[in-house]
Amino acid sequence: MPDTQTDFTPTPADKFTFGLWTVGNIGRDPFGEPVRAPRSPVELVHLLAEVGAWGVNFHDNDLVPIDATSAERDRIVRDFKQALSETGVVVPMATTNLFTDPAFRDGAFTSNDAQVRAYALQKTMRAIDLGVELGAKTYVFWGGREGVETDVAKSPLDGLKRMRDALNFLSGYVRDQGYNLRFALEPKPNEPRGDIYLATVGSALAFIQTLDHPEMVGVNPEVAHETMAGLNFLHAVAQAWDAGKLFHIDLNDQVIGRYDQDFRFGAQNPKVAFFLVQFLESVGYDGSRHFDAHAYRTADADDVKAFARGCMRTYLILKEKARRFAEDGEIQGLLSQIRAQDAATEPYSREAAQALGARDFDRQALGARGQPYEALDQLVIELLLGVR
């Protein structure tokens, strides 16, 4: 039997998912018209099944157009369910489009217009119903328009209060409906707004603790978003994990300081992607590995499949590299050397404090000690470059 983890063929156990908007991206950008024909949700489910993905996620309006009648909605949902059952593709996550329609030009939950805020809540309740009907267990909140270009427009305190009011309202709704659904906040520093509220994973984690039901709210960190902010994505993910809040993850790639690129996972910085995959696999993260990326605008329909396959294949290759890292004698030898001086920190007690106060340290000897991180990092590079 072939070893599925070494021929890099995705299996359902890998929990690879894509949004309808990712493989369905038509290649429009601020400077140019679409370059790829739109494909229906049913076609996209079949495409995802063909490339070996486990699940599909969607915004309400990726599936049901914003102006659909209820008869149209029912027909679309029926066809979509049929595609899911024909292919075995599942829906682990859903979300709301609160950014495309002009009504949301000044934000949805944080708009200065209370009617817009109410409409955004109503739209989200309906989208939650739709997601739950299709099996979603995680509901993502990406506040693309929740921000400002100028702080004269609104106080950031109002921004936070309105976000809190909205999330509290929607947690109440989910609880009242008896839905088995958790929320995941997806921070992003900017784009499409000049500045978006709750810009980083760290800010979202602190904000969650101020909600009425913090236990049902976690985060959905995205590689590109922390990278746009110039931050270390692995550190953000580790902090979310440490807090028990890593409910979902958006994988893609990005160059620091550029526009929001949404590159194929691992395309830009395979070393960063390696440490991330190694982390997710070693801690036992068991949620979706969601690729929130899209193919280059130059891609045709076949190249879109190459893009989707590439995201999953790179993840599996890096997972295999992590396994080799753990089995590499030289790497493990250096790691033991690094940790040779380590010991658990004693918890506070009066005695421990007295003993520590009386201890003699040879400061110069401590400062004279080096660490072989150059050697170790080079071994990681060689592992990734395929020569070990």
The stretch near ligand GCO (CB under 6 A) out of 136-144, 163-171, 364-372, 378-386 is 136-144
CA pair distance 322, 6, nearest whole angstrom:
12
Does 142 participate in binding ligand GCO (rule CB under 6 A)? yes
Residue 5 or 203 having the CB closest to ligand GCO: 203
Q: Which does 140 bind (CB under 5 to 8 A by kind): ligand GCO, Mn ion, none?
A: ligand GCO
Q: How far is the CB of 292 from ligand GCO (least distance, A)?
A: 5
Which helix H or strand E contains 206, and what residues bound it? helix 201-208
**Pair type for strands 289-291 and 93-95:** unpaired
| Residue 184 beta carbon to Mn ion: minimum distance, rounded to whole angstroms | 10
- The one among 146, 226, 253, 292 contacting Mn ion by CB under 5 A: 292
List Cβ neighbours of 360 (8 Å cut-off, separation of 6 or more): none
Helices (H) and strands (E) in the chain, counts: 15, 10
Measure the CA–CA gap between 233 and 226, rounded to whole angstroms. Answer: 6
Q: Catalytic: which of 62, 106, 250, 262?
A: 62
List phi, psi (to 5°) of 29: -140, 175
With binding defined as CB under 5 A, does residue 226 bind Mn ion? Answer: no
From Mn ion, ligand GCO, none, interface partner of 226 (C-beta below 5 to 8 A by class): none
Which of the ranges 138-146, 230-238, 278-286, 372-380 carries the binding residues for ligand GCO, by CB under 6 A? 138-146
Cβ atoms of 185 and 144 closer than 8 Å: no
Q: Which of 14, 62, 106, 222 binds Mn ion (CB under 5 A)?
A: 222
Residues 209-268 that bind ligand GCO (CB under 6 A): 222, 250, 260
Q: Check residue 292 for interaction with ligand GCO (CB under 6 A).
A: yes
In 3D space, the residue among 74, 76, 104, 103 whose CA is nearest the CA of residue 20 turns out to be 76
Only segment of 105-113, 127-135, 139-147, 359-367 that touches ligand GCO (CB under 6 A): 139-147
Inter-helix orientation angle 270-283/301-327, to 10°: 60
Any idea how long the chain is? 388
46 classed as catalytic:
no
Q: How far apart are CA 140 and CA 292, in angstroms?
A: 12
Tell me the three state secondary structure of residue 379. Answer: helix
Chain position carrying tokens 């994990």? 241
Part of the chain binding Mn ion (CB under 5 A), chosen from 11-19, 91-99, 100-108, 289-297: 289-297
Tokens coding 346: 């004693």
Residues that bind Mn ion (CB under 5 A): 222, 250, 292
Give the residue numbers annotated as catalytic, written as ranges.
Answer: 59, 62
Interface residues toward ligand GCO, by CB under 6 A = 95, 140, 142, 144, 186, 188, 222, 250, 260, 292
